[in-house]
Structure 1
C-alpha cells in the first residue's frame, strides 16, 4: 500500500469543499457529538463514583468493616481474648445492643449501643469527633445523633429519661426499665437515619441496666476486611456469626452498580448518534467523489488503499472528538472539584459539595468504548468506497 498516496488524498478530502458544504457540516456535527458524549460520560461517571465512595465511606464507619455477633453461641470476654490472640494488630470494640425510647419533647425510639468510648473512638472517627474534649465519661453517659439532638432541643449535660425495651417484674405485672441518663455530646454522620435513630452509651452502664454479662457483638477494624473475614471465621467456635459491612448493605450497592451501568449505556448513545453522523458524512463524500474514486482505481489505486483512505478519515474525526472530549471532561471535573458551583443539601446526601472521583477503569472504558464505536462506524463506508464499480462509473465519462 502506497502510504504517501493515502496521506495525500486524506489531506485533500479534509479540506473544505465549497461544492459540498453539507458534508463538512456533518463532519463537524459528528466531531462535536463525540466530544460532548465523551465529556458527559466522564463527568457523569465521576459524579457517580464520587457519590458511591461517599456513601461507602459513611456506611463503613457506622456499620464497621467486620462485626462478630451473638447468634447460637454468645460472644463474651473469652471470644475477645481469642480474637486478640490470633489477630493482635486488629482493633476491637465490643458492644451491647438494645432498643430504647428517649423521653424528651415526646418519645423517640433509638438503637442504643453500649460501647467502651475509648475503644469505639479508635475505629469510628465520627464517634471520635463527638467525644473530642470530653476527659471523663460517666457510667450512664450517652452520645446521640445530631438530628435527634436538635429536633428534641437537648443540650450537653442535660439529664433525660431513657425507657428500655427489656421488661422487669413488678408486683403482679411487668414494667419497662427506666433510667435517667446524661447527654454529653452528639455525633454527626451526615446520614439522617443514623443521626436520628442511633445513640451510644457507656457499656458498663448498659451492662448494669440490662443485667447482661455477655456482648451482643464485637466491631472489628482490619486493614483488609475482604480477606480477613475468612480468617476470623476459621478461628471462631460454631454458633458465632461474622458479617462484613459490604454484606450488610449488599442490595444497596447492587442497586448503585446497576444504576451506574444503566447511566453508562444511556450516555454512550450520544457517541453512537455522533457515529451515525460519521457514517452519513462518509457515504455522502463517497457519492460526491465517486468519479474520483473510480479514476484513482483505474490508474492503479488498490481497493486496500481506497478502503484505508475512508477508514482513516472516519478515525481522524472520531479520535479528534475523543481527545477533545477527554480534555473538556477533565476541565469540567477540575472546575466542579475546585469551585462550589453545585451545592448539595448535606442532610439528604451527607455531603455539601459535589463529590467527583473518576477512576482509571471508567476512563479507560469510556475511551475504548468510543474508539470501538468510531472504528465500526468507519468500516462500512470504507468497504462501500472500495467496492466502487470502475467500468459502470466511468462508462459515460
Structure 2
C-alpha cells in the first residue's frame, strides 16, 4: 500500500520527465529553471559589486575624513588638557590633534590652492594609512628638527612638477589688527614625501606638515588645536560617549562629527541605489517565475484525466496540491541552486582575472571591487524562495480543484 509521500514522489518523477508528446511543456519548465537561475546569479553579482564599490568609496573617504572628528566651535580652540582627558577616558580610541589653514602653493612658476594640516606626524600615521605609507623611507626626525617639512599628494606633485626635497612656497593670509585688511605671509617648505589616496581631489589639495609649523604661522600657543581626528572601530556608539564626556567639561566649545554625517548624502544615495537595484533585479526572478506558473498550468491541463483518475481512486485533493506545489518548488529551487553556483563562479572569475578594468583617475581603483555581503546573499535567496513558493501555490491549488466526475464523464 502506497504512503502519501510515495505517491507524491512517484508523481514528481513522472511529471519531471521530458514529455516527447508535449515537448513545449518541458521546454517551458527548462526555461523557468534557467530563468530563475540567471535572475539569482545577476542579483547576487550586482549586489556584490554594489557593496564592493560602496566599501571602496567608504575606505577612500575614511582616509581624509576619519571615523570621528572633534572640532572647535569657538576661537579658543581645543586645549591639550582636554585632549589628555579624552585619551585617559577612552584608552581604546586613537586621538590625533591637528591645526588647519588654507594656503596657495607655488613652485616652478605654477600656483595651486590647497589646505595645509599641521599634525603630530607619529599620531596621525597611526590612523591614516595613506600618510603612514608616504612616510616609509622618510626620516620622521626631519619633521621635528626642521619643522617646515611637508608631505604632499601625488596630484599636487604632478601639478607643480615637484620632486623629493624640492622647495615649495606656501602663501597664507593673516587679518591685520585693524580688521580691515589681510596681509600675505609666505614660507618656504621642504617636500619630504608624497601620498596617494586614489582620490584626485585630496591628492591635489591636501598638504601635511607638523603642528609647530602651522602654530607659528597662525601665531597661537603650542598646546591649542583646531580639532582632533579620532579613530574608532565603532564610531556610531563612541560618538555618543564622547559627547557625554564633553558635557562634563565646562565651556568646552567642541563639536563632534562622524564620517556618516560628513558624507551623509553620498552614502544615502548609494544605499537608495542599492535598494532600487535589488527590487528591479528581483523582478527578473519574478518574470522567470511566471514560466513556472505557465508550465504547471500546462502540465495540469495535459494531465487532467490522470488527476481525475487519481482522485477517483482515493487520492486526496491535498496530495494533488502538494504534488504540484513541490513540482514548482523543485523547478524554482533547482534554478536558485543553479544561480548560486553561477554567481560564485562569476564572482571568482571577476575577482581573479582582470576582465573588467576601471579608469583609476575616475574611481581611484583599477579592478572591479567585489564584496558579497551575507545579508545581501541571504536576502536574495529568501526573496527568490518566497517568489517561487507563491508561483507554485496557485497552479497547485488549481490542480486540487479539478472536478474528477465531470472530466471522466466527458472524456
Shorter-chain TM-score category? over 0.9
Report what 1:94 is aligned to.
97
User: Which moves more between the two structures, 100-109 or 150-159?
Assistant: 100-109
Secondary structure of the equivalent of 1:395? Answer: helix
**Residue deviations 1:274-295 (CA, integer Å, cap 9, x gap):** 1000001111111111111111
Q: Please tell me the root mean square deviation across aligned C-alpha atoms, in Å.
A: 1.6
User: Which moves more between the two structures, 310-319 or 1-10?
Assistant: 1-10
User: Which moves more between the two structures, 352-361 or 313-322?
Assistant: 352-361
Query: Does the 8 Å CA contact 2:293/2:392 hold for their aligned counterparts?
Result: yes
Aligned partner of 1:133 among 137, 144, 148: 137
The offset of 1:364, in angstroms, is 0.5
Report what 1:59 is aligned to.
61
Residues of 2 paired with 1:128 and 1:261: CA distance? 36
Query: Does the 8 Å CA contact 1:122/1:128 hold for their aligned counterparts?
Result: yes
Report what 2:229 is aligned to.
219
Residues of 1 paired with 2:132 and 2:226: CA distance? 22
Report what 1:119 is aligned to.
123
Q: TM-score, normalised by structure 2?
A: 0.93
Secondary structure of the equivalent of 1:189? Answer: coil
* Aligned pairs, number: 396
The yes-or-no answer on 1:15 pairing with 2:29 is no
Report what 2:52 is aligned to.
50
Query: Does the 8 Å CA contact 1:168/1:177 hold for their aligned counterparts?
Result: no
Secondary structure of the equivalent of 1:220? Answer: strand
Aligned partner of 2:186 among 165, 172, 178: 178
Residues of 1 paired with 2:296 and 2:409: CA distance? 24
Report what 1:320 is aligned to.
334
Aligned partner of 1:145 among 153, 173, 198: 153
Report what 1:252 is aligned to.
266
Residues of 2 paired with 1:74 and 1:389: CA distance? 85
Residues of 1 paired with 2:308 and 2:245: CA distance? 78
Query: Does the 8 Å CA contact 1:168/1:176 hold for their aligned counterparts?
Result: no
Query: Does the 8 Å CA contact 2:174/2:182 hold for their aligned counterparts?
Result: no
Report what 2:203 is aligned to.
195
User: Which moves more between the two structures, 149-158 or 372-381?
Assistant: 149-158
The offset of 1:151, in angstroms, is 2.1
**Residue deviations 1:245-284 (CA, integer Å, cap 9, x gap):** 2221111111111111111111111111110000011111
| Distance change in 2, residues 1:173/1:379 (3 Å) | closer
| Distance change in 2, residues 1:9/1:169 (3 Å) | same
**Residue deviations 1:41-76 (CA, integer Å, cap 9, x gap):** 111111111111111112122111211110135211
The offset of 1:167, in angstroms, is 3.6
Secondary structure of the equivalent of 2:78? Answer: coil
Unaligned ranges ≥5, structure 1? none
The offset of 1:220, in angstroms, is 1.4
